[in-house]
Every structure is written in C-alpha cells, then in structure tokens.
Amino acid sequence: MKDSSQDAGRRFQPTGLMYMAAAAFFFSLMGLLVRIVKGIPFMEVVFFRSAVMFVIPLIGLIREYRPLFGKHKVLLLARGLFGFVGLSAYFYTIHAMPLAEAVTIQYTNPIFTALWSPLILKERATRFDWLATVVSFLGVFFIARPDSLSHALPAAIGLGGAACSGLAYNLVRKLGGKGEDHRNIVFAFTVVSLGFSTPAALAQWVMPDTVQFALLIGIGVTTYIAQIALTKGLRAERASRATVMNYLVILLSTVYSILLGEALHPYTLGGIALIAAGIAVLQFGKRHEKARAAG
C-alpha cells in the first residue's frame, strides 16, 4: 500500500494548463479584491499592490547577493513606466465600471502586444493580428456604449491602459532576450510603481481598517501567486496555449459580477463575446504562422 501510494504521488504532476488555470483564478481573485475594497482611493490600492510586490523580489535578490538593478536601465525604466500606467488604468476601471467589463477591456492587451511587436521586437504583424484588433475593438465599442459618457470615459482609459500593458509585455520580452533576470525586471517595475503611486496615494490617503488592510495585502499576494503559476505554466506548456488563461479570467470575472449583483447590459455580454472571439483569432493566427513556418 505504501509503495502504491508513493507511486501515485510520483505520477501526479500538475500540467501546464493546470498552472494556467490556477493563474487565471488568482488573477481574477485579485480583480475581485480590488473591486470590493470600498472607501480606498484606487491609487492607494496601486501603492499597496506595488509595496507587496516590491518586497518579494527584493528578498530573493538580497539572499543571492545579486545587484538590485539590471544592466539595461533605460529599458527597465520604460517597462516600469508603461506597466505602471497600465496597472493604474486597470485599477481605475475596476473602480469605475462593473468588474466583468473592466477585466474584459484589460484583457485586450494580447492584441496590443501583437500590434506593438513590429516596433519593439521587429516581428511582423499578420492579417490575423489586424482582424483580431478589429473584432476586439468592436467588442470594446459595445461595452463602452458611447451614448453613455459614464461608460465611455472609463472604457477609453481602460483601453489606453491595455495598450500600455501590451507595450510593457513587449519590453519584458526584449529584456528577457538580452539576458535580464526576471527578478530585476519585476523589481524595476515595482520601484517605478512605488515612485509614482506613493505621492499620489499620500495626497488622498485613507487609513485602512483591519478588513481593508487584509484585502489590500491580499491583492499583492494573489498577484504574486498568479505570476508564479503563470511562469510555471509557460515553462510546461506551449506559449500559444496561454491564451486559455484570458478566457478563464474573463469568465470568472463575469461570474463575480453576477454574484456582486452588478447589472450587465446586453451590449456588455455581446462585447465580451466579441473580445473573446478576437483573442481566439489571435491564437489561431499564431498557430497558423507556426505551422506555415514549420512546413
């Protein structure tokens, strides 16, 4: 019995998709926590998230006696700046819009990643990239409902944030190609985020109570767990299948919106479906290009 149980334990190994599903859950949980933190300005939420994410790579770098800042400081600064703008816009839209809408707009960032890649990485944008862009932007138009300024403005800010996130992801890839340690990349991002969010948070600081403080720490912790799961998933699974995570985050966030009692307009549901279709087109395009290159 002992041997069989040990064999069973050895046989079970989490797959790449399991890690990606875990990442999707914790990313969606992070969004939910941001949504339910009441009475805390969104920039203060950005500050707490950045502070938690600052400590974790700092400990690892100090323990291994590694330099805190990498070699490519201009690129690291640019990655941190665009990442900070994208994160701030995302947290703002979560405060200003129903959770499902804010998350769906943020997860157009793979489209922007593909569109930025010719400029940053000298990779050619394909017809699938452009088709995915048109379909996804149509979905954002449905969610924004331009006849309603209360929806259009946050949607525009969220879309701009997604564009900045897409640019930041390309800079991460460029830095990785230059041999920059991933902890230095994360550390630079959190330093820039803290540098910009601290004065903005202090200008309208609200002292959190015990529950709010726990939620704020939880935002940082869930983000860290999600990043670890995503990293392991990408190591064990083809990168083209990572898009599955985007569907799960959108689906879970829609469920959370319903549980929170947030009214989802029929246009919103149509927009979510269109953006999911755009992501699917992007994924299909990547597979098509790889298959054509292979054979």
- As a whole-number percent, the residues of the chain with pLDDT over 70 amount to 87
Neighbouring C-alpha atoms within 13 Å toward the C-beta of 11: 6
In a domain, 233, yes or no: yes
In a domain, 117, yes or no: yes
Residues 31-53 have a mean pLDDT of 94
- State yes or no: pLDDT of 91 exceeds 90: yes
In a domain, 7, yes or no: no
Work out how many domains the chain is built from and give that number.
Answer: 1
State the pLDDT at residue 6. 53
State the pLDDT at residue 237. 56
In a domain, 3, yes or no: no
Which residue, chain included where needed, has tokens 């939620």? 215
State the pLDDT at residue 115. 84
State the pLDDT at residue 234. 61
pTM as predicted: 0.83
Stronger pLDDT, 249 or 41, i.e. the higher one: 41
Lowest pLDDT segment from 37-41, 165-169, 255-259, 287-291: 287-291
Residues 66-80 have a mean pLDDT of 87
| Mean confidence (pLDDT) of the chain | 84
State the pLDDT at residue 159. 92
Burial of 125 (0-12, 13-18, 19+ CB in 10 A): middle
In a domain, 289, yes or no: yes
Cα 250 from chain centroid (whole Å): 11
pLDDT tens digit string along 100-116? Answer: 889 989 988 878 888 88
In a domain, 113, yes or no: yes
State the pLDDT at residue 188. 87
CB 115 within 8 A of CB 133: yes
- 207/219 Cα distance (integer angstroms): 17
Domain extent at residue 112: 17-294
Close Cβ partners of 214 (under 8 Å, ≥ 6 residues apart)? none
pLDDT tens digit string along 57-71? Answer: 788 778 887 777 878
In a domain, 105, yes or no: yes
In a domain, 214, yes or no: yes
State the pLDDT at residue 82. 95
- State yes or no: pLDDT of 1 exceeds 70: no
State the pLDDT at residue 235. 60
Q: How confident is the model at residue 238 (pLDDT cuts 50, 70, 90)?
A: low
- State yes or no: pLDDT of 216 exceeds 60: yes
